[in-house]
Chain A
Amino acid sequence: MVRAPQAGSIQRRLALSHLLLGALASICLFLAIRFVAFQTAEATQDNLLRAAANTIAEQIGSSGDQVIVKLPHSAFAILETAAQDRIFYNVRVNGQSITGYEDFLPPDATRRVRDPYSFSLGYRGFDLRAVVLNSSAPAGSELQEVTILIGQTQDAQQAVADRFAAWAILISAGIFLGLAGLGAITAQQALRPLRDVTGAVERRGPNDLRPLRQPTPVELTPLTSALNDFIRRLRHSLRRSETFIAEAAHHIRTPLSTVKTETEIALRRTECDDTRRALRKVLFSVEESARSASQLLAYATVTQRSDSTPLERMDLKTKVQEAYDALFPTADLKDIEMHFTAQGPCFDIQGDVLMIEISLRNLIDNAIKYSDPDSRIDLNLQCDGDSVVLTIRDQGRGLGDVSPKQLFGRFKRGPETAGIVGTGMGLSIVNEVARSHGGQLYLSNNEERGTCAELSFPCLS
C-alpha cells in the first residue's frame, strides 16, 4: 500500500482548537469571576463607607450659627474590617476641616453632588477606596456646606477577591480540563465516520470495485460520491481493456490463420524446391507471429488481472487435468507420452481462473515444444498442507547453462531453444501468475536430461 504524504492531523487540530477554546474560556471565566468578585467586594465596601458617611451626616446639627458635627462611634464601628484596613477621614464645613486628616481631600474638591459618590484615590502612599458625601446644614442665617470624606484601604476587599480568585482558578482549571477532555473525545468522535469509510474501503481490498453504499454524514457525501465515481471509471476502464485485449486477439489471429492456411496450400502444391524452402520459412515466421500475438495478449491479460481481479477458490487438480486434456493431442502428435499423477487430499487454491489456465498451458506447452518425439513428460501435483506444487518433468533439451532466473525476463530465451518457435515470454507470464498468487516458479535441469519446472501456490485449507 502506498502511503500518501501526511499534512497534519485533523483530529489533532480539532483537539488543539478545543484545547485553545477551553483555555480561552477558562481564562475568560477566571478573569470574569475575579472581576465580579472584586466589583462585588468593592460595592460592599462602598456601601459600608456610605453607611458610615450617612451615619455622620445624620448627626449634623447646628447651634447658633455654628454647625455641629457629632461623630458617632457607630460610624467607625461600621468600618472595622477583618483585615484591619486603615481609615482616613476628613470632615469639612465650608471648606474648612473641622476634624480628621486635614490634607485628605477628594480629587475634585469643588464638586458638589448631593448623593454620595464613591471613587478610588491615593493618600499617603496607600490605595484607598473613598466616599464623599455633601450635605448642608443651616446655621444662623446661612446654609453651611458640610463635606464628609471617608477613605479606607482595600485589604479586606482584596482578601475576598483573592479567596474568590482561588475558587475561580479551581473552577477554571476544572472547566479547562473538562473542555480539553471533551475536546479530545469530540475530535475522535467527529472523525469516526471517516474512519468507518476508510475501514470499509480497506476491508474490501483492491479487487472489489463495487460502489460504496455506506451511509455517511452530509460532509463526507462529496468524498464518497467522488470515490464511487472514481471506482466506476476504474471499472469501466478495466472492462474496456479486457474487451480490447479480446478483440485485438481476434483481429490478429484470424488473418494470421488465413495466411498460414494459404501458405500451407501453396507448399503442398509446389514442385519447386526453392519455393518450398521459401514457403517453409514463411510458415515458420507466421507461426512465430501467431505465437507472439498469443503470448503478448496472454501477458497483457495476466498483468492486467494481476492486481484487480477477485480471486476465487478452485481445485488446481481439476485445472491441471483440463490443461492436460487440452494439450494431450499436441503431445500425442509428437508421440510424446504425457502422464499426470496427483497425491494429496486437497488441492484448493485461491486464484484467478484465467491466469491459472494461461500459466498451466504455457508450462505444459513448453515441455512439449522442447521435448523430442517419443519422449516422456511427467506431471505431478502434490499438496503438503502449506502449498500445492505442480512438477513438470520433460526429457527435452533442458535449460542449458543459463541461470533459471534470467529466463523469467521478457523475451528471454534460453541457449537451447534454437529451431523452435518461441517468444521468450512464456516463463515471464508464468512467473507473473505465480507472483501475483503468492506462489513461486522454480526451474532446474533434470539429472539426466530435460527440464524440471515446479510451480507452487499457497494451499487453501
Chain B
Amino acid sequence: MCRAVLSLPVLRSLCLSLLGLLPLQTQAQAQTQAQAQAFEIEAHVRFDSAMEQAELRLLSVTDLSAFEQLIRDYQMRNPTVSVDYTQVSSRELYKAVAAQEVAFDVAISFAMDLQMKLANDGLAQDHQSRTSRAAPAWSRWRHEVFGFTAEPIVAVTSERGFEGLPLPRTRQELIALMRDHPDRFSGKVGIYDIRTVGTGYLLGTQDANRSEAYWRLAEVMGALDPQLYCCSSEMLDDIGTGELHLAYNVLESYAKSRLDQQGGGQILRLQDFTHVVMRSALIPANAQSPELAGSFVDYLLSAEGQSKIASETAFPPLSSYDAASGGPLRPIRFGVTLLANLDRLMRDRFIAAWEGALRLN
C-alpha cells in the first residue's frame, strides 16, 4: 500500500533521494505489495515475466520512471526473470540493508558514503565477473560496491542575476565575485542544508577535503544571508523565478533537464574542480538470488547497459567519464575517507564549523 504522505520524513527522504529528480507520478501509478516493512517505501512495482523462473528483487533510491527502461531492457535479455522494484530514500535503504531482515538482491543508491559503510561493515556480498573487473578500480569499492554512472556536480546561475557580471570560472573567482558584489548576491545564494540533506553533507565534506576554497566560499556566503534548501528542485524553481541567482552543488543532469524546460539559467562547471558522483549498486549479504543480482550488476556495467543508461535515462553513464581527458572533473572515490565523514564526531565538528562559517548559529 502506498504510503506516499507528504510528511516531513517523506519530504526528507525525497530530498535524500535523487535530489527530487522526477515528479511523483510514479508513486501514484505504482502497485504496491501489502507487506509489513520496517522501513518506509516510496514506491513498489513488479515487472512480471511471462516465463518466470526467477525473481530479482531491487531496492533502489532512483525513481522508477528512470529505471523502467533499463529494467525492461534487462528483461528482454533475461526473459525468465521477473523484477520486483522497491523505491526508498537513501537513509531507508541503508536501514533496510543494515537490518538484514527483508532480503533484496540489489541495492542501488546515490549515497556513496552510505553504500560504502554498508560494504565496509560486511553487509554486502562479493561479486566478481569479467565485466565487473573491467570497470575502473576507482569506480568500485572492493568487489562489493559498483558505481555505474558518473554525474557531475555543478553550480547554476540565473541569467538575470548574473547580467553584466562575468561568469566565474573557479571558486576563487566566485568568491571574489560575491565579495565584490554583495548587493547582488545577498539573500540570493542557495545551498543545501547539510544538516538534513545527506547528499549535501557528502558534497560539502568532499569540497572541504579537496580545497580550502570551500571554507572561504562558505564564509563569503555566510555574510550574504545564504538560503538553505532541502532539494535541488526548489533551488531550480527559485532560480527560475529569480529569487536565487546562484545554486551551488546541483546535479548537472537534473539541472540541464530543468533549464531545458524553463531556461533562464546557466550551468557552471567550476574549473578548479567539479566533483563527479557515482550512483552505485551493491548485493546485500542476505540476497536470495546472488547470481541473478550479479547478472543485473554486470548488465548495468556492460556496454549495452551503459548505452541504455545514456539513451533512456538522464544519467551520464560511467563510461562517459574519460579519466584521461584532463579537465576539472574529479570523481568522488570510494574510500575510507567517505567512512570518516559518517563518523559522528567528525560530522558534529564539520557541521559546527559549517554553521559557524555560514553564520547560522
Binding site for B on A (CB under 8 A): 69-71, 73, 75-77, 79-80, 83-84, 86-88, 91, 98-100, 124-126, 155
Contacts and interface: CB of A to CB of B under 8 A. Distances in A.
A91 B346 CA distance: 12
A88 B121 CA distance: 8
Interface stretch (B28-36, B81-89, B330-338): B330-338
Contacts of B343: 71, 99-100
B209 A73 contact: yes
Given A73-B346, A124-B121, A84 B335 contact: yes
A84 B144 CA distance: 11
Contact of A87 (B209, B336, B346): B336
B141 interface: yes
A45 to B, nearest CB: 14
25 contacts: A70-B345, A70-B349, A71-B340, A71-B346, A73-B209, A73-B346, A76-B337, A76-B340, A77-B336, A79-B336, A80-B335, A80-B337, A84-B141, A84-B142, A84-B335, A86-B121, A87-B336, A87-B339, A91-B345, A98-B344, A98-B345, A99-B344, A99-B345, A100-B343, A155-B142
A89 to B, nearest CB: 8
Contacts of A71: 340, 343, 345-346, 349
Contacts of A98: 344-345
B122 interface: yes
The main secondary structure of chain B at its interface with chain A is helix
Most buried by B among A71, A83, A88, A125: A71
Given A73-B209, A77-B336, A124-B122, 19 more contacts: A73-B337, A75-B340, A76-B339, A77-B340, A79-B336, A84-B142, A84-B335, A86-B122, A87-B336, A87-B339, A88-B120, A91-B345, A98-B344, A98-B345, A99-B343, A99-B344, A99-B345, A100-B343, A155-B142
A80 B333 CA distance: 11
Contacts of B345: 69-71, 91, 98-99
B228 to A, nearest CB: 24
Contacts of A70: 345, 349
Contacts of A88: 120
B29 to A, nearest CB: 40
Contacts, number: 49
Given A71-B343, A73-B209, A99-B344, A125 B334 contact: no
Contacts of A125: 122
Given A73-B346, A99-B343, A126 B122 contact: yes
B344 A80 contact: no
B26 to A, nearest CB: 35
A88 B344 CA distance: 14
B196 to A, nearest CB: 21
Nearest to A75: B340
Most buried by A among B122, B141, B345: B345
Interface of B: 120-122, 141-142, 209, 334-337, 339-340, 343-346, 349
A128 B74 CA distance: 39
A97 to B, nearest CB: 10
A98 B121 CA distance: 18
- List the 6 shortest-distance A-B pairs measured between CB atoms, nearest first: A76-B340, A99-B345, A86-B120, A124-B122, A84-B142, A99-B344
A80 B334 CA distance: 10
B349 A87 contact: no
Contacts of B335: 80, 84
Contacts of A91: 345
Nearest to B285: A125
Contacts of A84: 141-142, 334-335
Contacts of A79: 336
Contacts of B142: 83-84, 155
A91 B345 CA distance: 10
B209 to A, nearest CB: 7
Given A70-B345, A71-B346, A84-B142, A77 B337 contact: yes
B18 to A, nearest CB: 26
A87 B122 CA distance: 11
A80 B336 contact: yes
Nearest to A56: B345
Contacts of B209: 73
B265 to A, nearest CB: 34
Nearest to A101: B121
Nearest to A98: B345
A88 B346 CA distance: 15
Contacts of B336: 76-77, 79-80, 87
Nearest to A125: B122
A69 B344 CA distance: 11
B143 to A, nearest CB: 9
Contacts of A87: 120, 336, 339
A77 B209 CA distance: 11
Nearest to B348: A99
A102 to B, nearest CB: 11
A91 B142 CA distance: 26
A177 to B, nearest CB: 34
Contacts of A99: 343-346
A155 B120 CA distance: 13
A155 B343 CA distance: 23
A73 B340 contact: yes
Contacts of A126: 122
B207 to A, nearest CB: 13
Contacts of B141: 84
A58 to B, nearest CB: 15
Nearest to B120: A86
A90 to B, nearest CB: 11
Nearest to A123: B122
A148 to B, nearest CB: 12
Contacts of A86: 120-122
A6 to B, nearest CB: 58
